[in-house]
A and B are shown apart, each in its own frame.
Chain A
Amino acid sequence: MSDIAITTLLILSLFAILGSGVWIGLTLSGVAWIGMQLFSSRAAGDAMAVTIWGSSSSWTLTALPLFVWMGEILFRTKLSESMFKGLAPWVSRLPGGLLHTNVIGCTIFAAVSGSSAATCATIGKMTLPELARRGYPEDITIGSLAGAGTLGLLIPPSIIMIVYGVSADVSIAKLFIAGIFPGLILASLFSGYLIVWALMNKGKIPPPDAPMTFTQKVYESRHLIPVVLLISAVLGSIYAGVATATEAAAIGVVGSLVLSLVQRSLSWTTFKESLLGATRLYCMIALILAGAAFLTLSMGYIGLPRHLAEFVSGMGLSPFLLIVALSLFYIILGCFLDGISMVVLTMGVILPTVQTAGLDLIWFGIFIVIVVEMAQITPPVGFNLFVLQGMTKKEITYIARVTLPFFFLMCGMVLLLWFFPQIATWLPSKM
């Protein structure tokens, strides 16, 4: 059977099974099973179990459940309320008002966490209820959170940069540094969009608070002290060499527990609730991760991503057209696979082509991170969408739709990166 026929059949079965309401994690497993049984000469069952165990017990993933738990603890403290009190005087007069807390929160938290789903879950746990309570429209709230959550990958530390750095044989430290400017620029693009959106949709945003003098603003900022302390503890533990980026999540949990103890919001009941809440939210993600790991294995056996990558590599394109083709390739792939799998399955084929085209590998790494960020918010398989569906109980199609503008902003970011490569390459060249 030709690759095109296999692809069509697998995509059709994916949509059919998903559409009929089968749980997402199981759907991915089902499609992987069908693909492996029909189109590879290997039996699916045992390979599935080995892979699911391997990915579910992998140490690099431990930051995710811990950050999810941290979010659940913070959600039960006064931290989000005080964070809003502290930020409000600064952003509330900006068009878009407190919506910017999504972007600012994710940008700051991205410096702590290397994963996009964790960033989305932790910040969302704090901002979603607060913004809803203050009357901000749900669509732009969810969209900006899903979009900004992906910054977790671009702003260091970042799991995907480590994976790329190892595959492409480039310095992970330089990649981390290279991600800083693009991350901040992308965050500004998100905020800029929120401003434009707010100007075009006057009346949908609750009116700003009364104007304050600068001193008043600074005084109000005292409410930010707990957040700043917590973030400093986590970041500090990384840069002081006490903890690695993954272990920092544990520092985050302990910090949040201490904070809620100090604020007197920690009781046996809230502890229990936070623990069970985190267990369930992580468990939901874990089932999907398991399905995604199996789907990746199945794709590895069938060889579809590799064939596609070989096809793109074989087209003999100019550098610009190559990047356009690769963007399309990864956007399509990203609809169905998670980011790390995309990189691992295709780098062996893509990298030689990229090198032949004379593209800088650090620059290309940042490009890859941005397309992987897009994959987090494209349906049907997009982890930020899943996290937000779990937290808001909205339909995934709705979440994908309200996030679409942020997807286009990321496409714009790729163009920006193409025309101004220094955004990514200047800072590492100074190292």
Chain B
Amino acid sequence: QTKWDLPAAYPASNFHTENLTQFAADVDKATGGKLKITVHANASLFKANEIKRAVQGGQAQIGEVLLVNFENENPIYGADGLPFVASSYPAARKLADAQKPALDKILGAQGMKVLYTVAWPPQGIYVNKEITAVADMKGLKWRAYSPATSKIAELVGAQPVTVQAAELSQAMATGVVNSYMSSGSTGYDTKTYESIKYWYDVQAWLPKNAIIVNKKSFDALDAATQAAVVKAAADAEVRGWKVSEEKNEFYKKALAEKGMKIMTPSAKLVADLRQVGVIMKADWIKRAGADGEAVLSAYEKSSTAKK
């Protein structure tokens, strides 16, 4: 019998974690208990930014990471964090496929591989006033938690503010922060509706969680067990994307019930924001080089092919 530890950063009640638990149970069943995966939710084993390294170093055989978190290390990880490149579930799916070979390449070089990815619901703008154009966003105190979100703040003329996730609720209540970009689920989980009243459903990007596995540990499994893991992962991916889409609707409704105004952005706001997206994309390609260009051209090819 083999035992794997799976560190994950989100609470047990989060849909990603529930999906992981199901995945572990599926593997257990399919292998007849030969491979037991223990899910350590809520960052109880390793913290979000330590998980990739833990899998790489073999302290955990498998783990869940938010890919965009690692864009400092390699811009490829940030492909799904580019604003207005892939703004819907079908588009995000295509981007995921286009990003996969490049991810396999960089993670493979570090002795890891991707088992599956699941998107978070699309990112919108939480803000304490009505906005109709990017000009209205000037001077907003904008929570920036990564280089990309800081860059967006700069481009829209907002002031990037550093506040840790743990202090976000309090920071919003006291006005340290009055805007940030995130999905409906984050706003619901952090009770953003207690202090911020508008959410603009701009669908900027759909960041993904990836389940990554240490290659040595994976190769050490027998062929049947490997196949069972791959099969369970494929199932988890399908299930996860479906649940994510359902949750997106659920969270929007839930936010509205809590008094949050769910706003459809004006045409002007969308056009302005797309400008921001164009600048960031150009900047990203410069940093990501040939691999980055390959990801985007593969994605563009697949999205035009269908039309």
Contact = CB atoms under 8 A, between A and B. Distances in A.
* A and B touch in their complex, CB below 8 angstroms: yes
Contacts of A347: 11-12, 42
A167 B11 CA distance: 5
B24 to A, nearest CB: 13
Contacts of B169: 165, 171-173
B175 A241 contact: yes
Contacts, number: 92
Query: Considering residues A43, A238, A301, which has the most beta carbons from chain B within 10 angstroms of its beta carbon?
Result: A301
B5 interface: yes
A166 B59 contact: no
A402 B175 CA distance: 43
B119 interface: no
A173 B174 CA distance: 11
A300 B44 contact: yes
B73 interface: no
Interface stretch (B86-94, B107-115, B159-167, B285-293): B159-167
A188 interface: no
Contacts of B98: none
B170 A245 contact: yes
B43 A344 contact: yes
Contact of B166 (A43, A60, A176, A242): A60
Interface in A286-317: 297, 300-301, 303
A329 to B, nearest CB: 17
Contacts of B167: 162, 244-246
A58 B53 CA distance: 16
Contact of B12 (A46, A173, A348): A348
B246 interface: no
Interface in B154-180: 163-164, 166-167, 169-171, 173-176
A54 interface: yes
Contacts of B46: 50-51, 54
Contacts of B11: 166-169, 347-348
B234 interface: no
A42 interface: yes
Contacts of A54: 46-47, 49-50
A240 interface: yes
Contact of B54 (A50, A60, A239, A240): A50
B301 interface: no
A356 B163 CA distance: 35
Nearest to A48: B59
B59 A42 contact: yes
B44 A173 contact: no
B50 A41 contact: no
B59 A173 contact: no
Contacts of B175: 241
A344 B44 contact: yes
Interface residues of B, number: 35
A241 B176 contact: yes
B13 A238 contact: no
Contacts of A268: none
Contacts of A332: none
A176 B167 CA distance: 12
B194 A244 contact: no
A345 interface: yes
Nearest to B7: A300
B12 to A, nearest CB: 4
B57 interface: yes
Contact of A344 (B42, B50, B57, B176): B42
B44 A166 contact: no
A22 interface: no
A163 B43 CA distance: 11
B152 interface: no
Contacts of B22: none
Contacts of B174: 238-241
Given A171-B169, A172-B191, A50 B59 contact: yes
A47 interface: yes
Nearest to B38: A303
Interface string B10-32: 01110000000000000000000
Interface in A50-64: 50-51, 54, 58-60
Nearest to A53: B50
B54 A47 contact: yes
A141 B61 CA distance: 51
A47 B59 CA distance: 6
Contact of A351 (B12, B44, B163, B166): B12
A425 B174 CA distance: 23
Interface in B28-84: 38, 40-47, 49-50, 53-54, 57-59
A42 B173 contact: no
B45 A301 contact: yes
B42 A348 contact: yes
Given A173-B170, A344-B44, A246 B164 contact: yes
A71 interface: no
Interface in A216-242: 238-242
B239 interface: no
Query: Considering residues B5, B13, B164, B166, which has the most beta carbons from chain A within 10 angstroms of its beta carbon?
Result: B166
Interface of A: 41-43, 46-47, 50-51, 54, 58-60, 157, 162-163, 165-169, 171-173, 176, 238-246, 297, 300-301, 303, 344-345, 347-348, 351
16 contacts: A42-B59, A50-B50, A50-B53, A163-B166, A167-B42, A171-B194, A173-B191, A240-B174, A241-B174, A244-B167, A244-B170, A300-B40, A301-B45, A347-B42, A348-B11, A348-B42
